[in-house]
């Protein structure tokens, strides 16, 4: 009995341990924040972006249009049937009287038609559908490129705000350490009590900077999460990644070389060229409307009746047809004997009542109110409009690349200068700190040196990510993928 109680108590303890472990694991899993790399953010944006989904639907629609264009080469096959009730005056074959009768019959038919020539419109329509499908693919890829660049900018903004927050927290900790050292120096008589006020004011200012950097970091994470259609802002963050700051080889390229390569790789340029080819096919289609159309056709039809009918029995019936005037003799004649029976079987009537027709149909347009010719003129104007748009796109691309090249080159020089400034400000701050601890330098001048060091620390972070983003933009136009 005691052994049973011991076993039951042991099982209860095991259950408690298991339940406790489960809940601890569940809470740790819930509290674990998902951290995304740049590549993961880009892929997630490409998967969930609504504009991209809309563009994918347009691509599917273009594929349907291509199937429709293919179908124009196939024959047109149609079948029809009808069953008719005819109610009205008609002769009753039983008694020969005119009566209101209801008769029924069914008809069946089928036709096949095929276009032999229509001014190459079916061929041009298929070519246009292929080009339109290609254009929608370029449009989708161009939208993905723009989305990727937009997400990369937001991602780097989060990285910038995170590093800036870390710097501000580090500066706040240094300020608190300086406050403790100043209090010790005052107690030991090295510094006067008035020196502590400037230090305390600096701590308050630094605490404000920490709050501001925290808010900026949180808002930038929310902005990136919204781009990715993530609603759980609190459990969203980016991964701990470091971007190297090398001098990119792309800066050794000439802007003209980058532009010429971009012309062969940019999807917006490919889209513009494809739209020109579509406009040319539209002109060919409009010209095809002025040409004759030759078609071949074949029709088949049959009819089924459900009314009774007369049939011959095979016997002859003598029927008087007149009287001889001279002697009054009756003149008779023989007629086949007939009887009323039901309609023929469905199969017999289907084959006996069928009919066929076939031939060629030629349609020659002569005058259509100038609509065809004006349509050609309108599509030629559209071609010129698209040519101008493509040229403007190329000019904008060249200007953008030149600007991106100058921005990246200038950002690298600014980062290099900021790095040198940071080193100098750090050295000046270290010297000021030593003098302040020795009581040679007052608190105001020491805080000024420290603030200049803080500004330099913030400037180099800003310069770092400004250069990274502008370099990514330039590499993007050169055809390099966005990656860490």
Q: Is the pLDDT of residue 276 over 60?
A: yes
Q: Are 143 and 180 found together in one domain?
A: yes
DSSP category for residue 481: P
For residue 150, which of 482, 419, 484 has the smallest C-alpha distance? 482
Q: Are 142 and 238 found together in one domain?
A: yes
Residues whose CB falls within 8 Å of the CB of residue 327, separated by 6 or more in sequence, listed in order? none
Q: Is the pLDDT of residue 131 over 90?
A: yes
Angstrom distance (rounded) from CA 379 to CA 375: 6
Q: Which residue has the higher pLDDT, 471 or 398?
A: 398
Return the pLDDT at 316.
80
Return the pLDDT at 24.
39
Domain assignment present for residue 434? The answer is yes
Q: What percent of the chain has pLDDT over 90?
A: 33
Domain assignment present for residue 421? The answer is yes
Q: Are 28 and 122 found together in one domain?
A: no
Q: Are 165 and 23 found together in one domain?
A: no
3-class SS of residue 186 = helix
Return the pLDDT at 21.
42
Q: Are 69 and 6 found together in one domain?
A: no
Angstrom distance (rounded) from CA 55 to CA 66: 17
Domain assignment present for residue 326? The answer is no
Angstrom distance (rounded) from CA 131 to CA 137: 10
Angstrom distance (rounded) from CA 227 to CA 152: 11
Q: Are 68 and 6 found together in one domain?
A: no
> What's the domain count of the chain?
2
Neighbours of 483 (CB within 10 A): 11
Domain assignment present for residue 142? The answer is yes
Q: Are 127 and 25 found together in one domain?
A: no
Neighbours of 259 (CB within 10 A): 20
pLDDT, one tens digit per residue, over 391-442 is 999 999 999 899 988 988 888 888 889 889 989 988 988 888 888 777 777 7
Angstrom distance (rounded) from CA 179 to CA 175: 6
Is the Cβ–Cβ distance between 320 and 150 less than 8 Å? no
Is the Cβ–Cβ distance between 165 and 213 less than 8 Å? yes
Q: Are 220 and 182 found together in one domain?
A: yes
Q: Are 42 and 26 found together in one domain?
A: no
- Domain assignment of residue 13, given as a range: 2-32
Angstrom distance (rounded) from CA 415 to CA 461: 9
| CATH number where 222 lies | 1.20.1600.10
Domain assignment present for residue 304? The answer is no
Buried b (16+ CB within 10 A) or exposed e, 429-467: beebbeebbeeebbbeebbebbbbbbebbbbbbebbbbb
Place of tokens 């929608």: 136
pLDDT, one tens digit per residue, over 295-343 is 999 999 999 888 777 777 778 877 787 787 777 788 778 778 777 777 8
3-class SS of residue 311 = strand
Domain assignment present for residue 347? The answer is no
Q: Are 13 and 159 found together in one domain?
A: no
What rounded mean pLDDT belongs to the chain? 83
Q: Are 6 and 132 found together in one domain?
A: no
Domain assignment present for residue 101? The answer is no
Band (92; pLDDT cuts 50, 70, 90): low
Q: Are 123 and 151 found together in one domain?
A: yes
Domain assignment present for residue 14? The answer is yes
Angstrom distance (rounded) from CA 159 to CA 169: 15
Q: Is the pLDDT of residue 30 over 60?
A: no
Residues whose CB falls within 8 Å of the CB of residue 451, separated by 6 or more in sequence, listed in order? 202
What is the distance in angstroms between the CA of the first residue and the CA of the last residue of the chain? Answer: 68
Alpha-carbon Rg for the chain in angstroms: 46
Distance (Å) of CA 114 to CA 72, 203, 357, 358 = 9, 88, 15, 12
């Amino acid at each position: 009995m005691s052994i049973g109680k011991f076993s039951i108590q042991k099982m209860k303890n095991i259950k408690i341990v298991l339940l406790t472990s489960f809940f601890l694991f569940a809470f740790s899993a819930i509290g674990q924040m998902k951290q995304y790399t740049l590549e993961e953010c880009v892929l997630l944006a490409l998967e969930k972006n609504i504009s991209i989904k809309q563009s994918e639907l347009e691509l599917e629609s273009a594929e349907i249009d291509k199937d429709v264009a293919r179908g124009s080469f196939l024959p047109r096959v149609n079948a029809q049937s009808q069953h008719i009730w005819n109610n009205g005056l008609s002769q009753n074959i039983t008694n020969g009287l005119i009566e209101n009768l209801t008769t029924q019959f069914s008809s069946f038919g089928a036709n096949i038609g095929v276009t032999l020539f229509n001014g190459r419109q079916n061929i041009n329509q298929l070519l246009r559908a292929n080009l339109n499908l290609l254009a929608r693919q370029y449009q989708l890829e161009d939208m993905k490129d723009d989305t990727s660049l937009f997400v990369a900018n937001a991602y780097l903004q989060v990285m910038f705000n995170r590093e800036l927050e870390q710097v501000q927290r580090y500066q706040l900790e240094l300020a608190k350490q300086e406050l403790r050292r100043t209090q010790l120096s005052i107690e030991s008589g090295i510094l006067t009590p008035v020196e502590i006020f400037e230090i305390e004011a600096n701590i308050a200012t630094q605490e404000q900077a920490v709050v501001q950097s925290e808010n900026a970091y949180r808002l930038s994470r929310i902005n990136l999460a919204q781009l990715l259609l993530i609603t759980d802002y609190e459990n969203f963050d980016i991964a701990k990644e470091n971007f190297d700051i090398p001098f990119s080889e792309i800066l050794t390229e000439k802007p003209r070389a980058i532009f010429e390569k971009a012309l062969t790789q940019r999807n917006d340029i490919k889209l513009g060229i494809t739209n020109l080819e579509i406009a040319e096919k539209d002109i060919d289609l409009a010209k095809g409307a002025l040409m004759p159309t030759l078609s071949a056709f074949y029709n088949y039809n049959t009819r089924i009746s459900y009314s009774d009918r007369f049939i011959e029995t095979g016997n002859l019936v003598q029927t008087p047809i007149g009287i001889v005037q001279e002697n009054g003799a009756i003149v008779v004649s023989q007629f086949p004997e007939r009887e009323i029976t039901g309609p023929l079987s469905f199969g017999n009537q289907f084959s006996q009542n069928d009919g066929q027709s076939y031939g060629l149909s030629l349609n020659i347009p002569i005058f259509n109110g100038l609509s065809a010719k004006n349509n050609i003129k309108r599509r030629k104007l559209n071609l010129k409009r698209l040519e101008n748009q493509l040229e403007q796109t190329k000019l904008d691309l060249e200007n953008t690349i030149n600007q991106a090249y100058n921005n990246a080159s200038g950002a690298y020089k600014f980062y290099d200068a900021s790095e040198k400034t940071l080193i100098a400000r750090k050295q000046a701050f270290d010297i000021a700190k030593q003098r302040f601890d020795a009581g040679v330098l007052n608190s105001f001048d020491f805080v000024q040196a420290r603030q200049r060091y803080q500004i330099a620390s913030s400037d180099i972070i800003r310069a770092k990510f400004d250069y990274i983003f502008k370099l990514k933009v330039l590499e993007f136009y050169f055809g390099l993928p966005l990656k860490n």
